[in-house]
Amino acid sequence: MGSNIGAIKIYDGDGNLKDEISAEDATIRYQKYYELSDNERKKFDRLNSDDYIETYQPWIYGKSRVMREAKHEIVCVVCFKKVKMRSEKAIFCSRKCGYKKSNDRARSGKK
């Protein structure tokens, strides 16, 4: 079982290390002193399993999202350039053209 509770270091007032508690021992102490119901214990164990971390927390392992392929051909409403975009709802070829359009609207008073 993995553990979200890390090793604990205990220092005295002068900054000298007095004691160190391992992650496993800290988890056991937590479960011993804070009595968990059966459902809470199952959830605690499930959240600390390696399978959960790999499945539901992919950012821990640096897995990146896959970018969709640009396959929808559009014509920009500002510069009239033909480009391929990832979304079929896109109407601008770039953010620059989008900003131009919103600035033109702001100057003319239209919404």
30: its two tokens: 């937590």
In terms of Cβ atoms closer than 10 Å to its own Cβ (0-12, 13-18, 19+), residue 110 is exposed
Question: What is the value of pTM for the model shown?
Answer: 0.37
pLDDT digit string, tens, across residues 19-43: 999 888 888 887 776 766 778 777 7
Instruction: Give the whole-angstrom CA distance, residue 16 versus residue 10.
Output: 9
pLDDT at 1: 46
Residue 84 belongs to what H/E stretch? strand 82-85
Task: Name the residue with higher pLDDT: 85 or 35.
Answer: 85
Query: Residue 108: pLDDT above 90?
Result: no
